[in-house]
Chains A and B, each alone.
Chain A
């Protein structure tokens, strides 16, 4: 199994509060991704990183920010959580990220509930 750890695994928070989710990898992979999973939508890309301090937006980036200060850590921050951000969040990694056949390895997910 790929060495990907997401924390926390579950979180309940209130609307308007900041929330940070952490993804830690031990594979030294260059690319890291944050996806959210919602019923009827599959997984949608929020942000991704292609190196330390190199990040870019995905399909559903509004309301989210990310940071990557070390190869192994990729943080997802909800500056002011809203109920629409209740979701399961997955971190994923890939070694190079450039190949068409490059597969993603996923963490176990974080269940976030915003009340």
Chain B
């Protein structure tokens, strides 16, 4: 079963504007973690932000914030004041207690393009 869903294959945003990348997840575990990674055209995977299921406040890291809505099982990434360097593929991922690895399960990604 698909555990992480990213419904936006591609997104466009004007430079300096904010953009929201959607992510919904599915788990029956009460304890889980949600991650966002950025993959620029150079190919490396860069960790951006983390949200734990028991965290009371939404996570923020500089211009990145995570809009965590537990009841809706969504963990959307918000990028404020977009920059040209934000153009990249963005992946949402989740770890819960299912499976012995507590592996990170990834969504299919959203390609963000920032327009000048």
Q: Which residues on A are within 8 Å of B, measured CB to CB?
A: 33, 35, 40-45, 48, 50, 56, 58-59, 88, 90, 92, 97-98, 100-106, 108-109
Residues of B within 8 A of A42 (CB): 4, 6, 91, 106-109
Q: Are A108 and B43 in contact (CB under 8 A)?
A: yes
| Alpha-carbon gap, A100 to B105, bound state (A) | 12
Residues of B within 8 A of A56 (CB): 100-101
Within 8 A of A (CB), among B54-82: none
B: interface residue count bin? 20 to 34
Q: Are A40 and B108 in contact (CB under 8 A)?
A: yes
Select one of A40, A48, A108 contacting B103, CB under 8 A.
A48
| Alpha-carbon gap, A83 to B52, bound state (A) | 39
4 smallest CB-CB distances across A and B, nearest first, come from A42-B106, A106-B45, A100-B33, A43-B106
Q: Are A97 and B43 in contact (CB under 8 A)?
A: no
Asked if B14 is an interface residue, CB under 8 A from chain A, the answer is: no
